[in-house]
Amino acid sequence: MHISPAELEARLRLHSLPELGPRRFRRLLDAFGSASAALSAPATAWRSLGLPAVCAEPRRSEDIRECATTALRWLEQEGHSLLMWEDSDYPALLAELSDAPPLLFVAGDRSLLERPQLAMVGSRRASRPGLDTAASFARSLAGGGFVITSGLALGIDGAAHQGALDVGGGTIAVLGTGLQRIYPQRHADLAERIVASGGALVSEMPLDCPPQASNFPRRNRIISGLSLGVLVVEASPSSGSLITARLAAEQGREVYAIPGSIHHPGARGCHQLIREGATLVESVDDILQALRGWQLVAPVPTAIPQAEHPLLEQLRAAPQTSEALSIACGLELSATLVALTELELEGLVACEAGRWVHRAP
């Protein structure tokens, strides 16, 4: 849908108002027909709709106008775009939510948001095995055609994004800050690599919105809302990842959880989700079986015992890339990546500097 420059500027101004969430935004558009008309309406009309004075009072302020001007300048830059409810390429799954974001700022490839996605979330203070597991699953799923969606946080999120990048797969980072305020700052380089590699950064927040605790649960509903399912790799019972998983369940999405040792605090959140009905996941194939209708990868050959797997025979000779292994073994790349993930989880292979190496059991 095409809207006029004046209406775009008006929507950006509305979007910058304090305490004006998606439902209130929609209420204004439904009542007045456009953002321009809503901004011109008297404060009494806003109050009659149940909107507080804190929303209405600053709508004509210079600060709000400057926020819109900044956003318009940002949108002029290459690779920057804005998705609105009415757009034909607004993500269909996200549009199902009653509180779907009215505006989504996107840096990178916006078409990625329409592709089948799997969310991967977990602890910011994940263990090394947890990080390795997240990266392995992300490599296999992204290599098979699924877009990996996460929140750019430290720990599991970062490992999931990196795993997708390792195999040239698609990945989307949904931020709880504005796209001009990358958080955490330690992942600024990762954010740049995601965009440079054909991925996307997404946020419903105004561009300069700083990190605020209340923004991250809102961010989590977008992560789950975009995705066919959510995989929780490692999480404590108090982890924000459990919020994402429960939002996913409420949205009708699949929820997956990887179990762990009963002695590891990071496994307790996953065990809690499994008790509540999440699918227990021990291998990538557990997810692919549950999403059979969306499966984009070839099944892993299962007739060959792992100790005799042709991939292991190749890697005993010399380290190789996944592409080279695929050619040498006559397998599809997606099937090769799934098999390598299974072997990696068994401790038989490892990915080092982009090449796979054999590990003695």
Q: What is the pLDDT along the chain (361 residues), one digit of tens a residue?
A: 578 999 999 999 999 999 899 999 999 999 999 999 999 999 899 999 999 888 888 888 899 999 999 999 999 999 999 999 889 999 999 999 999 999 999 999 999 999 999 999 999 999 999 999 999 999 999 988 899 999 999 999 999 999 999 999 999 999 999 999 999 999 999 999 999 999 999 999 999 999 998 899 899 999 999 999 999 999 988 888 999 999 999 999 999 999 988 888 889 999 999 999 999 999 888 888 777 655 454 333 333 334 457 888 888 878 888 888 888 888 877 778 878 877 877 778 888 777 888 886 5
Specify the pLDDT at position 298: 39
Which one, of 117, 360, 306, lies nearest residue 228 by Cα?
117
Tokens 């309406």 belong to residue: 41
The DSSP element (H or E) to which 108 belongs, if any, is strand 103-108
Specify the pLDDT at position 326: 82
Model pTM score: 0.81
Number of C-beta neighbours around residue 202 at 10 A: 28
Reduce the DSSP state of residue 182 to 3 states and report it.
Answer: coil
CA distance 126 to 233: 9
Specify the pLDDT at position 232: 96
DSSP secondary structure code for residue 348 in this structure: S
Specify the pLDDT at position 308: 53
DSSP secondary structure code for residue 300 in this structure: P
Dihedral (CA of 199, 10, 223, 18) sign: positive
Dihedral (CA of 89, 244, 263, 154) sign: positive
Specify the pLDDT at position 304: 32
The DSSP element (H or E) to which 174 belongs, if any, is strand 171-174
Q: Which token pair is 221?
A: 């509903």
Specify the pLDDT at position 338: 76
Q: Please answer whether residues 206 and 180 qualify as being in contact, where contact means their C-beta atoms are separated by less than 8 angstroms.
A: no
Reduce the DSSP state of residue 89 to 3 states and report it.
Answer: coil
Q: Which token pair is 338?
A: 């799934």
Specify the pLDDT at position 1: 58
* H helices present in the chain, as ranges: 5-15, 22-32, 35-40, 43-48, 53-56, 62-75, 92-95, 128-143, 156-166, 188-196, 215-226, 240-250, 265-275, 284-290, 310-317, 322-329, 333-345
Chain centre to alpha carbon of residue 59: 32
Specify the pLDDT at position 265: 86
